[in-house]
Amino acid sequence: MFIRLVTVALIVLTIIISHSFPWLKTPVIFSLCNGLAVLGVIVLIRAGQVSFGHAMYSCAAGYMVVFLARAYQLDGLLLIGLATSVATVFSALLGLFIVRYRGIFFGMLNLAFSMVLYSIISKFTTITGGTDGLSFTRPPLAGFVLERDAFETALLYVVLACALICGLLAQRYFESAPGQSLAAIKTNETRLEYLGISAKHVFWMGYLFSGFLAGLGGSLFAIAQGLVTPEAGYWVRSGEFVFIAILGGSGHAIGAYLGAFIFEFVRFYAAALLTGAWQITLGTVLIVIIFLAPEGLVGMLTRFRLPARR
Amino acid sequence: MTTEMFILATLDGLSAAALLFMVALGLTLIFGVMGILNVAHGSLYAIGGYVAATLGLAIDKFGLSPALYLPALFLAAILIGPLLGTLLEVGLLRRILGKEHVLQLLVTFAAFMILEDVQRLVWGTQPYFVSNVMNQFGNTDVLGITYTNYQMIVLPVVAAVAYYGLRYFLTKTWLGREVIAMTFHREVATAMGVNAKLVSLLTFVIGAGLGTLGGALASPSTALLPGVGADMIVQSFAVIAIAGLGQLGGAALAACLIGLSRSFAVYLMPELAVLTPYIIMVLVLLVRPEGLFAATSMRRI
Amino acid sequence: MKRFNRKFGLIASMMVVLTLWAQLSLAQEKPAELKVGITTYVTGPASVFGVPAKAAFDIMIEEINAKGGIDGVKIAPFFIDEGVGTSGVLSEYRRANQEMGIRVMLAAISSGHCLALAPVAEDLKILNVMWDCSTERVLEDAKFNYVFRTQANATIEMVAAVIYLLRTKPDFKTVAVVNQDYAWGRDSWEIFINTLKALKPDVKVVAELFPKFGASDFSAEISRLQALRPDVILNTSWGGDLDTFVRQAAQRGLLKSSTFVMPLLESSMERIGDAVPDGVIAAGRGDHYFLHPETKNDPAHVAFVKKFREKTGAYPIYPSYHAVQSVIALKAAYEKAIKANGGKWPTIEQVAAAMKGLEFKGFGRPIKIREDGQGMEDQLYGITKKVPEYPFPVLDKMMFIPAELVTTPVGQKSPEYVKTISPEILKKEFKTYNYTK
């Protein structure tokens, strides 16, 4: 109940803030996009696995957006759909192989694949624009050709809708049988197998879903930024996703967005106010969270309940 | 690929492997005992290098004997390794032993971020480069190619000494055996009378010392600047993933594998040089999902 | 009738007020201060450029403000750290504009950031001066009204490198490259080799090495180059990568066995000077140098170098000079626009219009901004030489390669243009300056 209240409050706040302070629109969009990718990481964290390479799906989707936008005059929404599908298929294929691994090996394999992708993108300068990346002009959105300001407002609502739907979807998934089996991989995989459930299959589904979320976040991010660089797939980005996931907490889908907002704004203000010391700030915030609220921000929310009605 | 090229590539690969190995050795030792992958190890490497460079500059500034250049590298590692190691162990790692692996990793990652900024605040952003040791040791020509003795001889020798020294310590001394007992089972070892806290601290300090030593020894041949630690930590992770967690000998082999493959790639396929650690990792894990020398672990049902 | 009069009077007076108000809002009010956003690297590897550049910004802005600012308006800088990455810079840039009302920006060092910011500046009508990034793609791939560059670009720099190389060492057969594996390393090699092949078709490329950005060890690359013994080796690296490479290569004698072309060596010279032998072709991305043969005794330049050394303990390097150029150009553009506006404070649009065709002088030769926004900055190239006056090598046999000669014409694209450069270009006579105390 309380979480639902927070969700509604967050949505209302997002809308109010972006309309009264137009410059906040971009950071809000960026945070929501990050939040989507982080939600993907959270899906895996529920299975006790951390991926240090999930930015590769965001990056792959981002490049798909750019390639398609530059080659054909497609609608923004279509671009998002196509790019996300490509990232999902990509994660499904890679997942076939990766879901066999656990723990540090799972993390490192994801990292290895993301670095291979990163290097390939950086190297094929003629196709990918190298490390400077590729930019593209604003695509029409649902058939409307918009100026930057209107475009951003429209995009904000698209991103918000995506975030909300995916949040609900993820929550449904967590509560469903496959979602519960996924969580069982963390607690005791062998027992899961003894129940006659294929842990690999369950994990593969989770991996696929997480790839989809990361891809969706990445394609929206690309559209918002109008530019994609290989930086989007670098391991530091993947590390950020994990960072945010811990910050927000994996107990509930809302954690991803809460974490992403806090992360974006802490970094933003730390970079602006304490030029040159934003890493200290972020690091300290993370340590404090882990020690005081190991369940993340979500953990703090669920512990704090509304008084029950009598 | 001629024999000549083979020899050259091997020489280059070994010196790179030696440095990588020393850093990875500390990392894998700490993992073996504490079960924590310490991302802040990268910072230890960087800070070890910075302190060594500072000492090297100080020797020149105060006109001390050039004979001190090499000892200064070790002194740097001994000064800062145990100090930072103790700080990290007592201040952070000891307090997260019971937490989830993800959280442990993230705590060390946070420490890494903080130390990264600390480095910048202390040493600034301009590259540090103190290469007097390397000049002091002179060069040797191999097949018409000039090699520095420092990279060709000193680094591999120190790495080998570190490896055999550590092995001797672990297998032949009482304390070392306690460390090994801890890697098998912390609780049982404690029940047998091993002072777990002390052994953990000791292991961490040794591991941290190896990290700072790696940085100190790298400092004569490389520029120190913000970000050197991050690069090293990713490569060391690759080394211990290939080797299998907590495997000392495996780490030596994996470091050589990465070092050599990179130098061979420079001759054969330069574009692949950057990718070699990752490609090897993928290939090894395909065949051996828990690394080359993974110990079989018990299943909990 | 009375009523009508009253009504009429009211309407008339309202109209007067409205027109007055409209006129007032047309004539830009002189602000209390001119807020200028400046992006630079305070963190990350590129802070080797960003930090000395920031020092130069501080010095120049302080000096201008001490003399009354621009037409009495003082400059208030607002620094943005580029070290936080592209999306962070984009957010901060927009915040500076939309929250703080900054409409003049000096951005950026990173070519990637310039490519990302230019369209945003155009959309938000921000006057954006690209003060240090080198990519020629920004102004060649799109047309901007608000985006300018107060320095040269990668094409100018690399074509000049080829010309200087062929003038000083015309007879060589083989060439190799060791560049950082990122956009600048790749692009600069592309321009260099295509120009070289146009001017000297028989040249043979023996190795193309792109070690990763931030590599700490170049041993394998150096061994391979020693085995191949190319006549000429190009290295456009900078910062820690360049320092490491030069140290390791010098130690192993590679710097002497091949002729090196290092177009960014000037920025590392003071740090690694003791390792650099004589005879390396070096430059610092443009027409500026603390020992610039034509301006080193200009009082303003001497004063700047002195202040800079007092502040940082080092000699100014090229990003510092690029910072100077951008501030001077901005001031010159404002003054030009004020003059054109009959002495009144100009709008951003008027300043942007004044930028086109603007001529200004930093601490080098005068620079003109072309109609597409590109700065026409000559290129100073030279050869390293050890001298007793400095603990690091200085540039000798300095030559200025004029920008008109080596800049891609408006409307053309660099990759095609460099292939059409004819050997006629080598016949031009340039004055050579030797190092003097």
> Mind telling me how many Å the CA of B109 is from chain A's nearest CA?
8
CA distance C230 to C221: 13
For residue C36, what are the β-bridge partners? C77, C104
Reference C405, options C221, C86, C167, C224; nearest CA is C167
Lowest pLDDT segment from B50-59, B140-149, C148-157, C200-209: B140-149
Q: Using the structure block, give the residue that is written with the tokens 């398609």.
A: A68
CATH of domain C155-284+378-433: 3.40.50.2300
Does the distance separating the beta carbons of C137 and A125 come in below 8 Å? no
Helix (H) or strand (E) holding A19: helix A2-20
Query: How high is the pLDDT of residue B97?
Result: 83
CA distances from A61 to A170, A230, A303, B266, C14 (A): 20, 12, 37, 32, 58
Q: Give yes or no for residue B275 having a pLDDT over 60.
A: yes
Query: How high is the pLDDT of residue A20?
Result: 80
Q: CA-nearest residue of chain A to B99?
A: A294
Asked whether A289 and A296 are in contact (CB, 8 A), the reply is yes
Does the distance separating the beta carbons of B237 and A111 come in below 8 Å? yes
> Mind telling me how many Å the CA of B266 is from chain C's nearest CA?
6
Query: How high is the pLDDT of residue C15?
Result: 57
**Judging by DSSP bridges, how do beta strands C379-385 and C33-40 pair with one another?**
unpaired
Chain B residues whose beta carbon lies within 8 Å of the beta carbon of residue A97: 286
CA distance C345 to C71: 8
Q: What are the residues whose beta carbons fall under 8 Å from the beta carbon of A264, sequence distance 6 or more?
A: A27, A30, A31, A34, C91
Chain B residues whose beta carbon lies within 8 Å of the beta carbon of residue C181: 274
CA distances from B135 to B52, C269, C272 (A): 16, 19, 14
- Binding partners of C (≥3 Cβ pairs within 8 A): A, B
Superfamily of domain C33-152+297-373: Response regulator (3.40.50.2300)
| Average pLDDT of the residues in B104-123 | 90
Q: CA-nearest residue of chain A to C135?
A: A132
Mean pLDDT in order along chain A per 10 residues (310 residues): 79 82 83 95 92 94 94 91 96 93 88 90 82 85 84 92 94 92 88 88 95 96 89 88 90 91 82 74 88 84 59
Burial group, residue A195, by CB count within 10 angstroms (0-12, 13-18, 19+): exposed
Query: How high is the pLDDT of residue A276?
Result: 65
Q: Domain segments of chain C: what residues? A: 1-27, 33-152+297-373, 155-284+378-433
- Quote ipTM for the complex: 0.83
Does the distance separating the beta carbons of A239 and B109 come in below 8 Å? yes
CA distance B9 to B147: 12
Q: Domain segments of chain B: what residues? A: 18-224
Query: How high is the pLDDT of residue B297?
Result: 58
Query: How high is the pLDDT of residue B285?
Result: 87
Q: Residues B202-241: pLDDT tens digits? A: 999 999 999 999 999 999 888 888 778 888 898 898 898 8
For residue B241, give the nearest of A104, A279, A294 by CB distance: A104
Chain B residues whose beta carbon lies within 8 Å of the beta carbon of residue C217: 15-16, 19, 221-222
Does the distance separating the beta carbons of C271 and B271 come in below 8 Å? no
Chain B residues whose beta carbon lies within 8 Å of the beta carbon of residue A106: none
For residue C114, what are the β-bridge partners? none
Which of A42, A280, A284 should one mutate to test binding to chain B, selecting the residue with the greatest count of B CBs within 10 A?
A280
For residue B120, give the nearest of C43, C48, C272 by CB distance: C43
> Mind telling me how many Å the CA of C123 is from chain A's nearest CA?
7
Asked whether A44 and A95 are in contact (CB, 8 A), the reply is no
CA distance A87 to A117: 13
Does the distance separating the beta carbons of B12 and C43 come in below 8 Å? no
Does the distance separating the beta carbons of B4 and C251 come in below 8 Å? no
Query: How high is the pLDDT of residue C1?
Result: 46
Q: Domain segments of chain A: what residues? A: 25-234
Confidence at B298, pLDDT banded by 50, 70, 90: low
Q: Give yes or no for residue B85 having a pLDDT over 70.
A: yes
Query: How high is the pLDDT of residue C202?
Result: 93
Say which DSSP state A252 is in: S
Domains C33-152+297-373 and C155-284+378-433 share a fold: yes
Q: Give yes or no for residue B87 having a pLDDT over 90.
A: yes
Q: CA-nearest residue of chain C to A151?
A: C123
CA distance C23 to B90: 70
Reference B102, options A290, A36, A292; nearest CA is A290
CA distance C397 to A76: 56
Does the distance separating the beta carbons of B274 and C216 come in below 8 Å? no
Does the distance separating the beta carbons of C90 and A225 come in below 8 Å? yes
For residue A275, give the nearest of C42, C186, C210 by CB distance: C42
- Token representation of residue C222: 């150096």
Does the distance separating the beta carbons of B120 and A280 come in below 8 Å? no
- pLDDT per residue as tens, chain C (437 positions): 455 556 555 565 655 555 555 444 445 678 899 999 999 998 878 889 999 999 999 999 999 999 999 999 999 999 998 988 887 888 889 889 988 889 999 999 999 899 989 999 998 899 999 999 999 989 998 899 999 999 999 999 999 999 999 999 999 999 999 999 888 998 899 999 999 999 999 999 999 999 888 887 888 899 999 988 999 999 999 988 999 899 889 888 899 889 999 999 999 999 888 889 999 999 999 999 999 999 999 999 999 999 999 999 999 999 999 999 999 999 999 999 999 999 999 999 999 999 999 999 999 999 999 999 999 999 999 999 999 999 999 999 999 999 999 999 998 999 899 999 988 888 888 889 999 87
Query: How high is the pLDDT of residue A258?
Result: 92
Q: Give yes or no for residue B129 having a pLDDT over 50.
A: yes
Q: Residues C315-348: pLDDT tens digits? A: 999 999 999 999 999 999 999 999 999 999 999 9
For residue C204, what are the β-bridge partners? C174
Q: Give yes or no for residue B96 having a pLDDT over 90.
A: no
Does the distance separating the beta carbons of A116 and B241 come in below 8 Å? no
Query: Percentage of residues in chain B with pLDDT exceeding 70?
Result: 97
Query: How high is the pLDDT of residue A310?
Result: 46
For residue C260, what are the β-bridge partners? C233
> Mind telling me how many Å the CA of C129 is from chain B's nearest CA?
25
Which of C209, C213, C223, C269 should one mutate to test binding to chain B, selecting the residue with the greatest count of B CBs within 10 A?
C223
Query: How high is the pLDDT of residue B128?
Result: 83
